[in-house]
Amino acid sequence: MTEKHFFNESEIPFLSKAEQYCAQSEQCRSSVMDKLTRWGASHELSERIINYLVKNDYINERRFCQIYSESKMNLQKWGRIKIAYQLRAKRIDKRLIDEALTNLDPNRYHEVLLQLARQKMSTIKDDNPFARRNKLMAFLASHGFESDEIIKAFDEIGDNE
């Protein structure tokens, strides 16, 4: 495989920037490819750099998926549907996405959903219970939660919160 000494002097700055970029936070192949393109690296050089970064564990898409999924669930309050959509947009392999979503803590996932549902329910100013429920369901669906999970959450919090 490609070793660092196989890069010529004009390519080393691209490699160094890519190493720094990956060392700062977890990245996937497509993010690094996009950065290298913006920095002016050729496609061929970008491919060689990415292969080097993967070989040297700067890029690990399984690790990226797990961290991305957990942080989006916990910080952005996203559900599995939205997380999967965003990971597909980053051209991540479906098996890795499925694995990361399966590894999300189901109790924490439910907790996040309930917290978001309660928060939103307290802001819905509609006297019609049917309208309140529909607004809440639409809001939670827009955050990427599955309809069966939304219904469970609604049943748990009721219409009084």
**What is the band of 160 on the pLDDT scale with cuts at 50, 70, 90?**
low
Average pLDDT over residues 73-98: 98
Average pLDDT over residues 133-143: 95
pTM: 0.89
Asked if residue 45 has pLDDT above 60, the reply is yes
pLDDT tens figures, 98-115: 999 999 999 999 999 999
Nearest Cα to Cα of residue 45 among 60, 33, 28: 33
Other C-beta atoms closer than 10 Å to the C-beta of 60 total 16
- For the chain, what percent of residues have pLDDT higher than 90? 85
Distance of CA 144 to the CA centre of its chain: 12
Neighbouring residues of 22: CB distance < 8 A, sequence distance ≥ 6: 32, 53, 58, 59
Distance CA 94, CA 88 (A): 7
Mean pLDDT over the full length of the chain? 94
